[in-house]
Amino acid sequence: MFTKVTVTDSSVVIEFSTWDKFLNASPKDLTIPRDHIVSADIGPDILKECKGMRAPGTYTFSQTYGFGIIAGTYRQRHGVKHFWNVRAKLADHTIRFNLLGDNFASVVVQVVDPQAISKSLERLKESH
């Protein structure tokens, strides 16, 4: 149910479950060059910040039905795109990667330990 995120010196690899790929959150895994990540935010309040129009081929279910899923690409003015793959019931596991020079302005996913991912990114930033 959680997205697998692997942080290396050169990139961050985001691997989606078969279920998420089937439902078109993302048909493939994402690899983000490490130098495209400006910062990372963690916490449940990120879910309140989903804005924009949902692009075709993505899915979302209202929290009133008990699912609370936001997934897919959301577009804002001037071509700004944000990728989301989150569930309301896992809000405490949310991490947002703020990007520069990438296909998306941000990527928001849920991982087992968002603080560990954030610390890994900080350690790499300090070592370079």
Q: What is the pLDDT of residues 24-49, one digit of tens each?
A: 667 789 999 999 999 999 999 998 88
Q: Identify which of 120, 90, 91, 92 has the alpha carbon closest to the alpha carbon of residue 13.
A: 120
**How many domains is the chain built from?**
1
Quick check: 85 and 16 in contact, CB under 8 A?
yes
Q: In what order do the strands lie in the sheet containing 11-15? A: 4-7, 11-15, 30-33
Is residue 128 domain-resident? no
Of the candidates 31, 40, 3, which has an alpha carbon nearest to the alpha carbon of residue 124? Answer: 40
Nearest to 121 by CA among 102, 96, 103: 96
Q: Please indicate, yes or no, if residue 127 is contained in any of the structural domains.
A: no
| Residues counted in the chain | 128
The Cα–Cα gap between 105 and 42 comes to 16
pLDDT at site 43 = 95
Q: Is residue 126 part of a domain?
A: no
pLDDT tier at 92 (50, 70, 90 boundaries)?
very high
Structural domain boundaries enclosing 113: 4-120
Taking only the tens place, the pLDDT of each residue in 94-120 is: 999 999 988 899 999 999 999 999 999
